[in-house]
């Protein structure tokens, strides 16, 4: 491969047959190689970008459809937790719409809200009206504002296992808990209980019942302790049971993806962060600057009036094509005969004027026939005969005239 | 002023910043930094306005040869100027600066008060005047974000003269001429010879050439000698109309005609004849008259250099009347044109008697080898039709030649590389025949 690519760049005395052409003309292959050399950088960059994108997509943890679903027996489901709760006498009702969750909740139930990214702003508003305790699993910012005012998301924590480090009974009974590869932590308001802290932020936050709502809101920064796969690790099962099974029944809200158009009144522009808008703006500025750089030439473009290129023989070639297009055999034959006679006459020792003279025709034919092996009739037909009937005859006539001329010349 | 790619790259990198610091203040800061860099570069770049340009070098070059023109860059400022320079010439001048990487630009470094020389090599590909367009310099600032740029005229004209390839035939033709002259120191008196000198009679001289009057004055028998006439006038007329634009091979007919005219001019001036030149289509394009023997050829070459074929029909009547008004005495008119049936029959033939009554006319024309090639084509039907069309063209040309000869016109019809020697031979034949 490297040999064939580097061959044309060598100086001209390349070994014969190396690339099939000895001269300086560029072959299609050389052109292709030159284009490849010119564009291979771009192709490599595109290839590398696609490769990186594929790797990133492969590394990203996939969310299976049954994630946190109490009816799902897979790794990411929560059927194990639901079954255990049922055995302990705490029925679990699964709902997939926020409105149903609100109607099924009662003052002695715990409403578990999962997958907050599927909740529309309208759903969040409805959930305010839910009665009973709340357990928010990795809540979104909007959900926190609505249901747990005063709690703000802080940094992510990458430590997997954490100690309770608080006085909340549910946590102290559970002991150490495995929160998985990454978990959210929260900034808590005064009076709230924060457990499983990373620095000063807590992974599990419980807001005490307030006089207004009279319910307990618990926030957990990771869904890992609830899943089938991790329920048996450390004190995960205990923590999950203590939080979800704190009251007499459980309403498990696992919202479906909202239908398109039901998401509220936010346009695409509202959803794009301001920084990204500025990024594109600056990108446009950069493009303008690059255009200005390319537009400014080092010196002007020089126009030069070039002479016309008209080939002198163009009219003759045009007439030849017209003859052919119209099968002008008569005219073609007449011109060829006149030319042949013009050349034959001096060879025969006749005066030049005889060529145009119809009276001299017989004399010319006789003289030609004498000096060639063709009969007088054939020579007469060739030099003064009728128009050729078809194209083949015209070609034959031309060859015959050539033959006569050659014989006369050689005789 | 000019911006650089580096500025665009910086602006591109700056686009990442507002993602982390989304604020208009960030944008203003980025733009401020870029603007500051640009202003700094413009302030610190070499002062291109203080540069002055002068030229020196060749003003004439024969087509196909290499000319050297030097551009001298003088820095009148008080700071050093380091810049990229492009000397802009028309494309057909094929100008390249010596020591240039890309074949177009060159880097100059001129300390204050000093001069630097940029040598340009030009290999023009066309005849005519090539004028230097402009000189552009670009001096990039120390940060490489912006540059000062300036274009300034540095006029220079390089005249590209006809190649005159047939001058290699000149020595042979001059030898023929000398042979002719020697031969004609013969004693035969006749048309086209003139009195040369008196000398003593030697055995074998024709008794008819004895000058009895001179003999009577002296003790010896004296004979008169004669030589071919000198100081004949030859008028070379170039047709620069539409038919001269046609290309034979890749050379316009006009260039072949020029080549033939130059050879004939050189030869005739050495033979002692007066040579004048006229280039005409509908008006006089060039004229050389009354040039002395030594500066005839340079004058002709200079006059012919800028002439290009005009795409208009030649005005033969105007040409003849111009000619008749310029020359009173009998002369040889050599008309270099194309034997085009329509152009000659409609243009020249009606006014031909006027011209031939007073002068001897010789028509020289370039024939196209392509037509001969087509006439010899055989094989398939297309080739036969080609041959028929070519035969027809040749027959027309023969007919036209015959018609012109009836008027007593000499016709020289030869392919491009044989036209010049054929025309010179025809001239020598006329001279030998004493027909000038």
CB pair distance less than 8 Å for A335 and B105:
no
Flag if A395 and B380 touch (Cβ within 8 Å). Answer: yes
Tell if the CB–CB gap between B14 and A286 is shorter than 8 Å: yes
* Inter-chain CB proximity B15 and A317 less than 8 Å: no
Nearest by CB to residue A278, choosing from B27, B246, B253, is B27
Decide if A295 is inside a domain: no
Among A312, A321, A328, select the one facing B248 at the smallest CB separation: A312
Question: What is the structure's pLDDT at A22?
Answer: 40
pLDDT reading at B221 higher than 70: yes
In angstroms, the CA B366 to CA B347 distance is: 18
Taking the C-alpha atoms of residue B97 and residue B103, their distance in angstroms, rounded to an integer, is 7
Q: Is A259 within the bounds of a domain?
A: no
The DSSP H or E segment spanning B269 is helix B253-270
CATH number at residue A227: 3.40.50
Q: How confident is the model at residue B138 (pLDDT cuts 50, 70, 90)?
A: very high
**pLDDT at residue number B222:** 87
Q: Is B22 in CB contact (< 8 Å) with chain A? A: yes
**Within chain A, what is the greatest distance between any pair of CA atoms?**
140
Confirm or reject contact between B28 and chain A (CB < 8 A). no
| Candidates B11, B26, B253; nearest CB to A289 | B11
**Among the partner residues A299, A308, A336, nearest to B311 by beta-carbon distance:** A308
Does B270 lie at the interface with A, CB-CB under 8 angstroms?
A: no
Q: Is A376 on the interface with B (CB under 8 A)?
A: no
List CB contacts (< 8 A) between B388 and chain A: 320, 323, 331-333, 335-336
Range(s) of the domain holding residue A200: 79-253
Q: Quick check: B107 contacting A, CB < 8 Å?
A: no
Break chain B into its structural domains and give their ranges: 48-161, 233-432
- Which of A63-67, A264-268, B198-202, B332-336 is modeled with the greatest confidence? B332-336
- For residue B141, what are its two tokens? 């600032």
- The per-residue pLDDT for B182 is 64
Interface check B134 vs A, CB under 8 A: yes
Residues of B numbered 76-95 whose beta carbons fall under 8 angstroms of chain A's beta carbons: which are they? 84, 86, 88-92
When divided into structural domains, chain A yields a total of 3
Q: Which two tokens stand for residue B306?
A: 């800028």
With an 8 Å Cβ cutoff, are A339 and B19 in contact? no
CB–CB of B22 and A274 under 8 A? yes
CB A310 within 8 A of CB B245: yes
Question: What value does the mean pLDDT take over residues B181-201?
Answer: 65
- The structure tokens 């030439």 sit at A297
Per-residue exposure over B344-379, b if at least 16 CB sit within 10 Å of its own CB, e if not: beebbeebbeebeeebbbbbbbbbbbbbeebbebee
Is the domain of A109 the same as that of A46? no
- Of A21-35, B14-28, B166-180, B304-318, the least confident: A21-35
Contacts of A300 in chain B (CB under 8 A): 88, 133-134, 136, 151
Class of domain B48-161: mainly beta
Do residues B13 and A294 touch, judged by C-beta distance below 8 A?
no
Q: Is residue A264 part of a domain?
A: no
What pLDDT score does A247 carry? 83
Residue of B nearest to A318 (CA): B389
Residue B183's pLDDT is 56
Inter-chain touch A302–B84, beta carbons under 8 Å:
no
Select from B18, B89, B91 the Cβ nearest to the Cβ of A278. B18
Residues 57-76 of B with CB under 8 A from A: none
Task: Please give the average pLDDT of every successive group of 10 residues along chain A, which has 411 residues.
Answer: 37 39 63 89 94 86 74 86 88 87 86 86 83 86 84 83 84 86 84 83 83 76 86 87 85 82 66 87 94 92 87 92 93 93 90 84 90 88 89 92 91 81
Interface of A with B in 329-348 (CB under 8 A): 331-333, 335-336, 338-339, 342
Mean pLDDT (whole number) for B188-198: 65
ipTM: 0.76
pTM: 0.67
Q: Are residues A243 and A343 in the same domain?
A: no
Q: Which of B92, B368, B387 sits opposite A398 (nearest CB)?
A: B387
CB contact under 8 A, B11 and A335: no
Confidence of residue B189 (pLDDT cuts 50, 70, 90): low
CB of A290 within 8 Å of any CB in chain B? yes
Cα separation, A356 vs A353, whole angstroms = 6
Chain-chain contact of B3 with A293 (C-beta, under 8 angstroms): yes
B385 part of contact set with chain A, CB < 8 Å: yes
Same domain, A97 and A239: yes
- Token pair, residue A10, equals 């060598």
- Is B252–A307 a contact, with Cβ atoms under 8 angstroms apart? yes
CB < 8 Å to B30, chain A: 282
Asked if B236 and B260 touch (Cβ cutoff 8 Å), the reply is: no
Same domain, A90 and A208: yes
Residue A186 and residue A132 share a domain:
yes
Domain membership of residue A19 (yes or no) is yes
Q: Give the contacts of B67 (CB within 8 A, at least 6 positions apart).
A: B57, B58, B61, B121, B122, B123, B124, B158
H or E stretch covering A244: helix A236-244
A57 touches chain B (CB under 8 A): no
Considering only A95-99, B124-128, B392-396, which range has the smallest mean pLDDT? A95-99
Sign of the four-CA dihedral A214, A215, A219, A220:
positive
Quick check: B88 and A274 CB within 8 A? no
Contacts of B378 in chain A (CB under 8 A): 398-399, 402
**Residue of A294, A296, A307 best to disrupt the B interface, most CBs of B under 10 A:** A307
Write the pLDDT tens digit of every residue in B54-69: 999 999 999 999 999 9
Mean pLDDT of chain B: 90
Query: Parallel, antiparallel, or unpaired for β A161-162 and A177-178?
Result: antiparallel
* Cα gap A226→A136, rounded to integer Å: 12
pLDDT at A334: 93
Asked if A39 and A99 sit in the same domain, the reply is no
List of residues 6+ apart from B361 with CB closer than 8 A: B333, B335, B352, B355, B407, B408, B409, B410
Asked whether the CA dihedral A284, A289, A290, A296 is positive or negative, the reply is positive
Q: Which of B40-49, B172-181, B257-266 has the lowest mean pLDDT?
A: B172-181
Q: Do A293 and B5 touch (CB under 8 A)?
A: yes
Cα(B299)–Cα(B286) distance, rounded to whole angstroms? Answer: 11
**Which of these, A25, A79, A299, A265, lies nearest to B95 by C-alpha position?**
A299
Answer whether A323 sits within 8 Å of B385, measured CB to CB: yes
CB–CB of A400/A377 below 8 Å? no
Instruction: Tell if the CB–CB gap between A314 and B27 is shorter than 8 Å.
Output: no
The verdict on a CB contact (< 8 Å) between B136 and A299 is yes
Identical fold for domains B48-161 and B233-432, yes or no, is no
A320 and B18: CB-CB below 8 Å? no
Q: B229-243, pLDDT tens digit by residue?
A: 678 899 999 999 999
Mean pLDDT of B393-411: 93
**Residues A122 and A184 both lie in one domain:** yes
The CATH homologous superfamily for domain B233-432 is von Willebrand factor, type A domain (3.40.50.410)
Test B18 with A311 for CB contact under 8 angstroms. Answer: no
For residue B309, the tally of other CB atoms under 10 A from its CB is 24
Helix (H, G, I), strand (E, B) or coil at B135: strand
Let me know whether A347 and A200 are in one domain.
no
Query: Do the chains contact at B384 and A310, CB–CB below 8 Å?
Result: no
Q: What is the mean pLDDT of residues B310-327?
A: 92
| CA separation for the pair B267, A172 (Å, rounded) | 123
Q: Is A314 on the interface with B (CB under 8 A)?
A: yes
Residue-level pLDDT at A402: 92
Contact A342 B395 (CB under 8 A): yes
List, as ranges, residues 266-285 from A with C-beta within 8 Å of B. 273-276, 278-283, 285
pLDDT class for B194, splitting at 50, 70, 90?
low
Q: Do B395 and A302 touch (CB under 8 A)?
A: no
Cβ <8 Å between A311 and B246? yes
Structural domain contains residue A287: no
Of B286, B291, B333, whose CA–CA distance to B309 is shortest? B286
In a domain, A65, yes or no: no
Structure tokens at B140: 């990039």
pLDDT score for B192: 59
């Amino acid at each position: 491969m490297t040999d064939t690519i580097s061959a044309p760049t060598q100086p001209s005395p390349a070994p014969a047959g190396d690339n099939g052409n000895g001269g300086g003309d560029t072959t299609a292959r050389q052109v292709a190689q030159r284009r490849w050399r010119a564009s291979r950088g771009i192709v490599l960059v595109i290839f590398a970008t696609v490769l990186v994108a594929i790797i990133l997509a492969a590394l990203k943890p996939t969310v299976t459809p049954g994630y946190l679903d109490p009816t799902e027996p897979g790794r990411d489901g929560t059927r194990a937790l639901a079954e255990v709760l049922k055995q302990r006498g705490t029925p679990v009702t699964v709902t997939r719409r926020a409105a149903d969750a609100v109607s099924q909740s009662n003052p002695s139930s715990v409403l578990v809200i999962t997958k907050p990214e599927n909740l529309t702003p309208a759903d969040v508003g409805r959930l305010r009206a839910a009665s009973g305790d709340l357990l928010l699993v990795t809540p979104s910012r909007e959900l926190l504002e609505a249901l747990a005012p005063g709690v703000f998301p802080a940094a992510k924590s990458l430590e997997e296992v954490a100690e309770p480090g608080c006085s909340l009974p549910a946590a102290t009974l559970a002991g150490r808990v495995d929160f998985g590869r990454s978990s959210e932590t929260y900034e808590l308001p005064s009076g709230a209980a924060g457990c499983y802290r990373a620095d000063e932020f807590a992974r599990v936050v419980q807001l005490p019942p307030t006089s207004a709502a009279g319910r307990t809101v618990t926030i957990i920064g990771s869904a890992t302790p609830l899943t089938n796969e991790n329920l048996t690790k450390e004190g995960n099962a205990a923590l999950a049971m203590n939080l979800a099974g704190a009251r007499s029944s459980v309403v498990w809200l696992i919202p479906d993806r909202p239908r398109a158009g039901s998401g509220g009144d936010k346009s695409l522009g509202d959803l794009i962060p301001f920084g990204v808008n500025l990024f594109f703006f600056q990108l446009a500025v950069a493009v303008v600057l690059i255009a200005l750089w390319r537009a400014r030439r080092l010196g002007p473009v020089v126009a030069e009036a070039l002479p016309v290129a008209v080939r002198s023989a163009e009219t003759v070639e045009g007439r030849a094509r017209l003859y052919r297009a119209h099968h002008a055999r008569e005219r073609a034959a007449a011109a060829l005969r006149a030319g042949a006679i013009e050349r034959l006459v001096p060879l025969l020792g006749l005066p030049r004027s005889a060529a145009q003279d119809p009276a001299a025709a017989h004399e010319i034919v006789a003289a030609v026939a004498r000096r060639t092996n063709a009969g007088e009739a054939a020579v007469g037909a060739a030099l003064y005969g009728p128009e050729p009937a078809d194209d083949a005859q015209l070609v034959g006539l031309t060859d015959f005239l050539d033959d006569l001329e050659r014989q006369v010349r050689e005789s | 002023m000019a911006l650089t790619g580096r500025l665009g790259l910086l602006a591109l990198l700056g686009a990442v910043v507002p993602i982390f610091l989304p604020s208009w203040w960030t944008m203003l800061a980025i733009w401020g930094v870029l603007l500051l860099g640009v202003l700094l570069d413009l302030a610190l770049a070499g002062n291109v306005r203080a540069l002055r340009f002068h030229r020196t070098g060749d003003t004439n070059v024969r087509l196909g040869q290499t000319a050297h023109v030097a551009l001298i860059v003088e820095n009148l400022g008080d700071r050093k100027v380091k810049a990229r320079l492009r000397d802009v010439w028309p494309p057909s001048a094929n100008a390249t600066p010596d020591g240039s990487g890309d074949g177009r630009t060159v880097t100059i470094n001129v300390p204050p008060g000093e001069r630097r020389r940029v040598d340009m090599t030009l290999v023009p590909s066309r005849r005519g005047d090539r004028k230097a367009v402009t000189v552009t310099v670009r001096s990039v600032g120390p940060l490489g974000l912006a540059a000062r740029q300036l274009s300034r005229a540095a006029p220079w004209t390089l005249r590209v003269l006809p190649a005159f390839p047939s001058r290699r035939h000149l020595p042979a033709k001059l030898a023929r001429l000398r042979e002719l002259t020697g031969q004609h120191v013969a004693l035969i008196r006749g048309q086209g010879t003139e009195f040369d000198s008196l000398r003593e009679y030697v055995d074998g001289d024709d008794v008819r050439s004895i000058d009895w009057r001179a003999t009577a004055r002296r003790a010896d028998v004296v004979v008169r000698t004669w030589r071919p006439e000198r100081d004949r006038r030859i008028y070379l007329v170039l047709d620069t109309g539409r038919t001269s634009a046609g290309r034979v091979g890749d050379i316009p007919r006009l260039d072949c005609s020029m080549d033939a005219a130059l050879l004939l001019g050189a030869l005739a001036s050495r033979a002692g004849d007066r040579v004048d030149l006229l280039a005409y289509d509908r008006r006089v394009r060039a004229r050389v008259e009354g040039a002395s023997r030594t500066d005839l050829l340079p004058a002709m070459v200079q006059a012919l250099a800028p002439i290009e074929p005009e795409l208009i029909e030649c005005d033969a009547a105007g040409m003849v009347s111009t000619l008749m008004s310029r020359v009173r005495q009998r002369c040889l008119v050599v008309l270099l044109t194309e034997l085009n049936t329509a152009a000659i029959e409609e243009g020249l033939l009606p006014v031909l008697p006027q011209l031939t009554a007073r002068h001897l006319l010789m028509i020289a024309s370039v024939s196209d080898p392509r037509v001969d090639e087509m006439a010899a084509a055989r094989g398939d039907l297309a080739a036969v039709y080609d041959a028929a069309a070519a035969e027809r063209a040749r027959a027309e040309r023969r007919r036209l030649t015959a018609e012109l000869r009836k008027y007593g016109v000499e016709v020289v019809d030869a392919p491009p590389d044989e036209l010049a020697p054929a025309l010179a031979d025809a001239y020598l034949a006329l001279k030998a025949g004493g027909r000038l």
